[in-house]
A and B are shown apart, each in its own frame.
Chain A
């Protein structure tokens, strides 16, 4: 029994043309039993900044809360919105502070720079090693399936609507090959002026 697959989760993020997309499944289960199909793993940290937290569900909630707390203090002290890159460092520090007793989450950060609106995606491992990429990031129990789907379907500089199709198909097909993730999906498309949240219709098994 692996701790990371106790609850099961799948989160991915992709870069598009002046937009980013972040998607996750919606299952909350305890090993084989599904408890809820409306468990959100993507948390909004700013008007254009989101963090997805797959992994042990209790740590998902705790890390989201602790992160929001630190972020609020930051924004009060600095009197400005945090940059995605800085936020990535915040997550990294939070996780590495627990180096020898870690939070069992492997976060995904996606957002647009508050000033320049430049897209940004990154992921971290459970002890906080940051990884910034130019195309896509995946994290969760079906990460290998997601790597396969994204590597095949991803195209750089897609329009928001096309990016939505790509990331949705990547997520849906990857979680269909994983027993402990799925049961619905949610996709956030983050653009300069709006955020669109769409719930996906997927296999509920």
Chain B
């Protein structure tokens, strides 16, 4: 009766890791979150666009949006761009009709399935799911399975890494667990590589003071407690 979404936290530029702890689980609505793989800017902007459309829809209809609505909005937008928007999404949420999970491909095709994986580490993650998925798992078991699937991607796929983020969506609440599992902690630096002040050769220095904006002025006068003498 819920959905568990998981993601790793590595963002790469070719083979260089640009962000060691980025957030790949995007907010769509209070009851819906979307994991994004592919071009980071595309996943970020697409999910923001559809989140905004869902909010307007919610205000127009007065109802919490359904997951299938978000699915439609996303697939129709992505198909319009014929795959040039490289966003591969895993959409999950709970609405009045129950929990739903969709996978959305960049060209606009969607699949409604009990378990889905996307991204470079999707094969490793899917292998884990195919082995251990059972319908109607308990929450803790499901969370562990998702964590293990992402971990499979983190350790075996070069394009995935760092930590595991989890998002558990149920009818009543959403648990956004970031990080759920810090699988890769940075090593401690053993030496001190600091430089003494004055090491760097400077050609010129220019100091500009920033004037503070006065928000409020309060004048407190000291007044003796005894009243004025009016002799």
Residues of A within 8 A of B (CB): 47-48, 81, 92, 95-96, 99-100, 125, 127-131, 133, 143-144, 147, 152-153, 155, 161-162, 164-166, 168-169, 172, 184, 192-202
Contact = CB atoms under 8 A, between A and B. Distances in A.
Contact of A196 (B18, B193, B207): B207
24 contacts: A48-B210, A99-B41, A99-B45, A125-B18, A127-B42, A129-B44, A131-B22, A143-B13, A162-B194, A165-B200, A192-B210, A193-B210, A193-B212, A195-B210, A196-B207, A197-B206, A197-B207, A198-B204, A198-B205, A199-B202, A199-B204, A200-B200, A200-B202, A201-B203
B160 to A, nearest CB: 17
A125 B209 contact: no
B195 A197 contact: no
Contact of A165 (B18, B44, B197): B197
Nearest to A184: B203
Given A48-B210, A194-B210, A162 B197 contact: yes
B41 A127 contact: yes
Contacts, number: 100
A194 to B, nearest CB: 5
A-B CB proximity, top 4 nearest = A129-B41, A201-B201, A168-B200, A199-B203
A95 B40 CA distance: 13
Interface string B192-231: 0111111111111111111111000000000000000000
Contacts of B113: none
A165 to B, nearest CB: 4
